[in-house]
Amino acid sequence: METVIEKTNVNVDIEALRKEIIKEENIVFKKTIGLTDNPLSYCPGCGHGVVHRLIGEVCEEMEIIQDVIAIAPVGCSVFAYDFFNLDTQSAAHGRAPAVATGVKRTMPDKYVFTYQGDGDLAAIGTGETIHAANRGENITIIFINNGIYGMTGGQMAPTTLLNMKSSTSPYGREMDVHGYPLNITDMIAPLRGVCYATRQSVHTPANVRKAKAAIKKAFEYQKLKKGLSIVEIMSNCNSGWKMTPVQSNKWMEENMLENFPLGDIKVPQDK
């Protein structure tokens, strides 16, 4: 190592340096093999990329890459099938839980998860979500709640807070026009088909670690065939909210978490 540093100081041989850096013994951090090398299409600062990495890491650590089938949604994460190094199906908008049902019923030994935004899961796909949950499908739903339709340019989502501005609620969401923010995870948690429901976030390193543990737990419950597990992850949408990444994480903590409190909502009751 020392010789390399000396060499670069004297005469920078980039090629040699690169070769040296990628030597197995010199690598200090590697991207998980659960992700591909494709560059993510997410805005810098957005939580989607973090959650992708967590899922990839969990699949790698549990050594289940060959046993996972992922279902991508329609939304910002529509290209998830190019980011996960997994066999993946891309579902129509909102239909991921139904597609996952078709996969899991015919491939019962595989881990099956859907990755969905709030518009996908809690608006157009509400029916599919509730019934997959009620049937106790042995699948995991990773639900990214950013309070907005990110992909289509920041329109109001079912999860948009009261008074929160979006391109289709430019004066703020009004209760008597648009109704209230929908808290779908709490709504489906009491269903007997749901074994595990939790709400996490990825706005601080500590929360990122907790979110990862929750994803792992959900996959473990799936292996034990306990029923449907849902991991809601609160995420910023700095572009949609028109803030910097730092501002948006602060705003989320101060505003979103009151409506969507973090923590386990339901955990399996062992008999």
Partner 1 sequence: MKGNEAIAEAAIRCGCDAYFGYPITPQSEILEYLALEDPYNKRSGMVVLQAESEIAAINMVYGAAGCGKKAMTSSSSPGISLKQEGLSYIAAGELPCLVVNVSRGGPGLGSIQPGQADYFQSVKGGGHGDYRLIVLAPNTVQEQYDFVDLGFELAFKYRNPVLILSDGAIGQMMEKVVLTPQKDRSVTLPSWATTGKTPDRERNRIFTLNIETDVQENHNRKLQAKYKVVEENEIRYQEFKTDDAEYIIVAYGISSRICMKTIQLAREKGIKLGMFRPITLWPFPKQKLFELSKNVKGIFAVEHSCGQMVEDVELAVKNNTPVKFYGRSGGVIMTPQEVLLFIESEMNK
Q: What is the CA radius of gyration of the chain?
A: 20
Residue closer to ligand TPP, measured from CB, 119 or 227: 119
Site for ligand TPP in 90-149 (CB under 6 A): 93, 117-120, 144, 146, 148-149
> Residue 235 Cβ, how far from ligand TPP at the closest point, in Å?
8
The option from partner 1, ligand TPP, none interacting with 157 (CB < 5 to 8 A, set by class) reads ligand TPP
Residues with Cβ within 8 Å of residue 2, at least 6 apart in sequence: none
Which partner, ligand TPP, partner 1, none, binds residue 141 by CB below 5 to 8 Å per kind?
A: none
The DSSP result for 137-150, as a single string, is -S-EEEEEE-SEET
Q: Is 41 helix (H, G, I), strand (E, B) or coil?
A: coil
Cβ neighbours of 67 (radius 10 Å):
16
Taking the C-alpha atoms of residue 139 and residue 142, their distance in angstroms, rounded to an integer, is: 10
Q: Using CB distances below 5 to 8 A depending on partner kind, what does residue 120 bind out of ligand TPP, partner 1, none?
A: ligand TPP
Place of tokens 């959900």: 218
Cα separation, 128 vs 101, in Å, equals: 10
Q: How many CB atoms lie within 10 A of CB 239?
A: 19
Name the residue nearer to partner 1 (CB basis): 70 or 208.
Answer: 70
- H helices of the chain, in order, are 2-10, 14-21, 47-61, 80-83, 96-106, 118-119, 126-134, 175-178, 184-188, 205-223, 238-241, 245-251, 257-259
Quote the least distance from Cβ 182 to ligand TPP, whole Å: 12
Over the window 143 to 172, marking each residue x when it contacts ligand TPP by CB under 6 A and - when it does not, the resulting string is: -x-x-xxxxx----x---------------
- Which residues contribute to the site for partner 1 (CB under 8 A)? 36, 65-69, 71-72, 78-79, 81-82, 84-92, 95, 98-107, 110, 127-128, 130-131
Contacts (CB under 6 A) with ligand TPP, residues 71-90: 74-77
| 149 interacts with, out of ligand TPP, partner 1, none, CB within 5 to 8 A per kind | ligand TPP
Rule CB under 6 A: which residues touch ligand TPP? 74-77, 93, 117-120, 144, 146, 148-152, 157
